Chain A
Amino acid sequence: MTARLLVRGASILGGGRADLLVEDGVVTQVGSVSSGDGVEVLDADGLVALPGFVDLHTHLREPGREDAETVASGSAAAAAGGYAAVLAMANTSPVTDTAEAAERVLDLGRACGLVDVQPVGAVSKGLAGEELAELGLMARSRASVRVFSDDGKCVQDARLMRRALEYVRAFGGVVSQHSQDTRLADGNACCHEGEISGRYGLPGWPSVAEEVVVARDVMLARHTGSRVHVAHVSTPGAVEVIRWAKAQGIAVTAEVTPHHLALTTDLVSGYDPVYKVNPPLRPEEFTLVLREALADGTIDAVATDHAPHALNDKQHAFVDAAFGMLGLETAFAVVHNLMVATGQMSMERLAEVMSVAPARIAGLSKRHGRPIAVGEPATFALVDPSARWTVDREASASLSRNNPWHGRSYAGRVVATLLRGRVTARDGVVVSAGE
């Protein structure tokens, strides 16, 4: 029997209203559709239909730290946040540096079925930054890995980075770089180097430690003719380099996190480790530059860098606590509130940066970031742009509570998420496959 769902009265990408008939996971009619027998109706009056979001940068912690997050709990958080696909970073234990490890993550994701969990492969064996991981075997595996990253660590060695960029070109891969020169910002660096780090005596993480790596990598991309992706851009200098590189025709793309758009360095002055993240929160004037770069296309995508941590890894002195914060469930609200509600960006551009561009960068464009049209997969986020809500960290589907958004109020909320016609989340609560 054909599964039929009628999404009634949604505004398509913030434009005209239409009903969407979904049959067997595919949109079969757009326009004015009358409901018939056996058609489930989803009332989307006042809601905006966007292509389901794609997160280029998610830490799911499984295998290895299932106390902080699992593929299942992270998938649930993603679905609740309007996501249809997430790229699971390789810095698990063991590291995703073989075909077998990648397939295992893929299979764990498929078993939950809430979002497409697409593994990211490590660039180097064990993220050690010394020898290439089996990039080709990961690419040829059932997981079809296309994005490679040592994220959490930066590929320091220019020769290794060059070889990785060259090698992945054979299968259309991309290297996503965590840009941090560890001679300029070592493992202790935990606060943007500036007046706050000076006053509060916190080890500084200077902007230039990011910028020199971004500059090197775009030149390597030019030299090799390969694609490089800059993860979590956080400084105006990096934005300038990326803008220049794009103007030269260099194949560089970039992502920015909601927290680097919205949160600022002064939050760390209370030494609360929930605000400890890598790269660190930057000053207000940096966030303004990042917002502008996201709006004007210099930055291609929003990525969460969702980084769950067990409470016991955060309950330490600031310099000893783990880096990272949650982001999947709040990303839409933060970006909508900051960029769309303020008029800096259109709803179409939000769809571009949260779905279309990340799908393209990750090589997922056949299934994700698609237009909302007849013949396309029914993979949507249905959002209410006017709903006001307050983030409650206890209401999260994540296993972790390192949530810097707790207690903040936003206009704009994900009401429902559809993955190929199936409702995966309603009002922030996951709808499991059996329901």
Chain B
Amino acid sequence: MTRRHLLSAADLTRADAEEILTTAASMHDIQHREVKKLPTLRGRTVINLFFEDSTRTRTSFELAGKWMSADTINISAKGSSASKGESLRDTVLTVDAMSVDAFIIRHSASGACHQVAGWVDASVINAGDGTHEHPTQALLDAYTMQQRIGSLEGRHIAIVGDLTHSRVFRSNLILLRTLGARLTVVAPPTLLPSGIGAWSARDGFTVSSDLDAVLSGDDVPDAVMMLRVQKERMSGGYFPTAREYAVGYGMTAARYRALSAANPDVAILHPGPMNRGLEISPEAADSPHSVILDQVSAGVAVRMAVLYHLLAADTTEVAV
């Protein structure tokens, strides 16, 4: 693999993605050791540059760097924006001038990581840019699903929720299709991204606003990913009330029972943090079908694998 950046799930060929997922499995084993340190990235500097709040993504990137012996520094640049003080460009150029090896960037603006990649010498890893992409989340979701249901080739995966504003959805759509899965995406029409008709026709996936129809019938999904509904969407008039959303598009207890009866091997995912009772019921979230905590656990391993492939693969053997 020769990629310097991971900006989009579309940067990954199937071979790239499979290589990362295989490496992630090795890394995952390390997590269960008493001493979790690898020397792989010794002497490398990795900057977590987060312009938006994040606990799990930032922590998991930080641990990934540390367990591989990189010098990892967190910079919380929340509030930095065009309107307040230093520009994005100046912020990253300032840090880049200190000869860092990689930036892990989260920013509220779609495309911010693409722009940064054009300005700096370091590798750039997209840790979430606006409503655009979050490729490492998609990798850890794919990893988690593979662990639970096996190869994704030909498997049916449903993604349900606020698709319009979801970077998790966009990266998963791309990556899961790269890995051979069949996708159905479900949302009320107000939360379907614009142009999804043409998009789905071009790329080959299914769009629905009828969750019950998707979860039943002849082609019950092998995995169902429930997306977080952000509170501000309610005031935005995208749907009338939380109650109505839960009834129409939530993984309610009743829906969970029907789904798990129709497919006893189904995996239920959620990228977190969950709104219990809104997009997912406790019955589903805490069920044996839920892999939500496995997703969190996989996060560190997958991010170690990504760092390895971007920063170390050309120069060192992975010592696991």
User: Chain A: residues with CB nearer than 8 A to chain B?
Assistant: 193-202, 204, 206, 270-271, 312, 315-321
CB distance from B205 to the nearest CB of A (A): 12
Apart from A199-B199, A316-B87, A319-B111: 4 A-B pairs, beta carbons within 8 A: A199-B193, A315-B88, A316-B89, A319-B110
- Per the bound structure, the CA–CA distance linking A193 and B192 in Å amounts to 12
User: Are B110 and A198 in contact, CB atoms less than 8 angstroms apart?
Assistant: no
Q: Of the 9-residue stretches B42-50, B126-134, B264-272, which lies at the interface with chain A?
A: B126-134
Cβ-defined partner of A195 (8 Å) among B81, B111, B115, B195: B195
User: Are B131 and A312 in contact, CB atoms less than 8 angstroms apart?
Assistant: no
Of residues 82 through 101 on chain B, the ones whose CB sits less than 8 Å from some CB of chain A are: 82-83, 87-89
User: Are A321 and B82 in contact, CB atoms less than 8 angstroms apart?
Assistant: yes
Q: Which residues of A contact B199 (CB under 8 A)?
A: 195, 198-199
Q: Most B CB atoms within 10 A — which of A199, A316, A318?
A: A199
- Count residues of chain B with CB under 8 A from any CB of chain A: 28
Q: Which residues of A contact B110 (CB under 8 A)?
A: 200-202, 271, 317-319
User: Are B109 and A318 in contact, CB atoms less than 8 angstroms apart?
Assistant: yes
Q: Which residues of B contact A270 (CB under 8 A)?
A: 114
CB distance from A140 to the nearest CB of B (A): 39
Cβ of B194 < 8 Å from any Cβ of A? yes
Residue of B nearest to A270 (CB): B114
Residue of A nearest to B133 (CB): A201
Q: Which residues of B contact A271 (CB under 8 A)?
A: 110-112, 114-115
Q: Most A CB atoms within 10 A — which of B107, B132, B193?
A: B193
CB distance from A226 to the nearest CB of B (A): 34
Q: Which residues of A contact B198 (CB under 8 A)?
A: 194-195
Cβ-defined partner of B194 (8 Å) among A193, A312, A318, A319: A193
Q: Most A CB atoms within 10 A — which of B107, B130, B170?
A: B130
Q: Which residues of A contact B111 (CB under 8 A)?
A: 200-202, 271, 317-319
Nearest 8 Cβ contacts at the A-B interface = A195-B195, A271-B111, A317-B109, A198-B193, A201-B132, A320-B82, A201-B131, A201-B110
Q: A201-B133, A271-B111 are in contact. Are A316 and B82 (CB under 8 A)?
A: yes
Q: A317-B107, A319-B109, A320-B82 are in contact. Are A199 and B130 (CB under 8 A)?
A: no
Q: Which residues of B contact A316 (CB under 8 A)?
A: 82, 87-89, 109
Cβ of B309 < 8 Å from any Cβ of A? no
User: Are B81 and A196 in contact, CB atoms less than 8 angstroms apart?
Assistant: no
User: Chain B: residues with CB nearer than 8 A to chain A?
Assistant: 81-83, 87-89, 107, 109-112, 114-115, 129-133, 164, 167, 170, 193-196, 198-199, 202
Q: Which residues of A contact B81 (CB under 8 A)?
A: 320
Q: Which residues of A contact B130 (CB under 8 A)?
A: 201-202, 317, 319
- Per the bound structure, the CA–CA distance linking A146 and B83 in Å amounts to 35
CB distance from B10 to the nearest CB of A (A): 10
Q: Which residues of B contact A312 (CB under 8 A)?
A: 87
A-B contact pairs, 13 of them (CB 8 A): A194-B194, A195-B196, A197-B194, A197-B195, A198-B199, A200-B110, A200-B132, A201-B111, A201-B129, A201-B132, A271-B111, A316-B89, A321-B82
Q: Which residues of A contact B107 (CB under 8 A)?
A: 317
- Per the bound structure, the CA–CA distance linking A366 and B202 in Å amounts to 54
User: Are A199 and B109 in contact, CB atoms less than 8 angstroms apart?
Assistant: no
Cβ-defined partner of A201 (8 Å) among B82, B87, B89, B167: B167
- Per the bound structure, the CA–CA distance linking A194 and B89 in Å amounts to 29
CB distance from B204 to the nearest CB of A (A): 14
Q: Which residues of B contact A315 (CB under 8 A)?
A: 87-89
CB distance from A269 to the nearest CB of B (A): 9
- Per the bound structure, the CA–CA distance linking A318 and B238 in Å amounts to 25
User: Are A317 and B195 in contact, CB atoms less than 8 angstroms apart?
Assistant: no
Q: How many A-B residue pairs have CB under 8 A?
A: 83
Residue of A nearest to B119 (CB): A315
- Per the bound structure, the CA–CA distance linking A202 and B83 in Å amounts to 19
- Per the bound structure, the CA–CA distance linking A318 and B89 in Å amounts to 12
- Per the bound structure, the CA–CA distance linking A104 and B269 in Å amounts to 64
Residue of B nearest to A272 (CB): B115
User: Are A317 and B88 in contact, CB atoms less than 8 angstroms apart?
Assistant: yes
CB distance from B226 to the nearest CB of A (A): 20
- Per the bound structure, the CA–CA distance linking A196 and B111 in Å amounts to 13
Q: Which residues of A contact B167 (CB under 8 A)?
A: 201
Residue of B nearest to A315 (CB): B89
Residue of A nearest to B131 (CB): A201
Q: Which residues of A contact B112 (CB under 8 A)?
A: 271, 317-318
CB distance from B195 to the nearest CB of A (A): 3
Q: Which residues of A contact B88 (CB under 8 A)?
A: 315-317, 320
Q: A271-B115, A317-B111 are in contact. Are A195 and B170 (CB under 8 A)?
A: no
- Per the bound structure, the CA–CA distance linking A316 and B87 in Å amounts to 7
- Per the bound structure, the CA–CA distance linking A195 and B194 in Å amounts to 6
Residue of A nearest to B82 (CB): A320
- Per the bound structure, the CA–CA distance linking A206 and B111 in Å amounts to 20
Residue of A nearest to B112 (CB): A317
User: Are A317 and B82 in contact, CB atoms less than 8 angstroms apart?
Assistant: yes
User: Are B87 and A199 in contact, CB atoms less than 8 angstroms apart?
Assistant: no
User: Are B132 and A317 in contact, CB atoms less than 8 angstroms apart?
Assistant: no
- Per the bound structure, the CA–CA distance linking A206 and B164 in Å amounts to 14
User: Are B195 and A320 in contact, CB atoms less than 8 angstroms apart?
Assistant: no
Residue of A nearest to B109 (CB): A317
- Per the bound structure, the CA–CA distance linking A151 and B30 in Å amounts to 61
- Per the bound structure, the CA–CA distance linking A206 and B88 in Å amounts to 28
CB distance from A101 to the nearest CB of B (A): 26
Q: Which residues of B contact A202 (CB under 8 A)?
A: 110-111, 130-132
Q: Which residues of A contact B89 (CB under 8 A)?
A: 315-316
Cβ-defined partner of A204 (8 Å) among B87, B109, B114, B194: B194
CB distance from B308 to the nearest CB of A (A): 28
- Per the bound structure, the CA–CA distance linking A334 and B88 in Å amounts to 33
Residue of A nearest to B167 (CB): A201
- Per the bound structure, the CA–CA distance linking A349 and B194 in Å amounts to 37
Q: Which residues of A contact B195 (CB under 8 A)?
A: 193-199
- Per the bound structure, the CA–CA distance linking A319 and B198 in Å amounts to 24
- Per the bound structure, the CA–CA distance linking A278 and B114 in Å amounts to 22
CB distance from B274 to the nearest CB of A (A): 22
Residue of A nearest to B8 (CB): A200
Q: Most B CB atoms within 10 A — which of A195, A270, A317?
A: A317
Q: Most A CB atoms within 10 A — which of B111, B132, B198?
A: B111
Q: Which residues of A contact B82 (CB under 8 A)?
A: 316-317, 320-321
Q: Which residues of B contact A196 (CB under 8 A)?
A: 195
- Per the bound structure, the CA–CA distance linking A197 and B167 in Å amounts to 13
Q: Which residues of A contact B83 (CB under 8 A)?
A: 320
Q: Which residues of B contact A193 (CB under 8 A)?
A: 194-195
- Per the bound structure, the CA–CA distance linking A193 and B197 in Å amounts to 13
Q: Which residues of B contact A317 (CB under 8 A)?
A: 82, 88, 107, 109-112, 115, 130
- Per the bound structure, the CA–CA distance linking A345 and B137 in Å amounts to 52
- Per the bound structure, the CA–CA distance linking A315 and B92 in Å amounts to 12
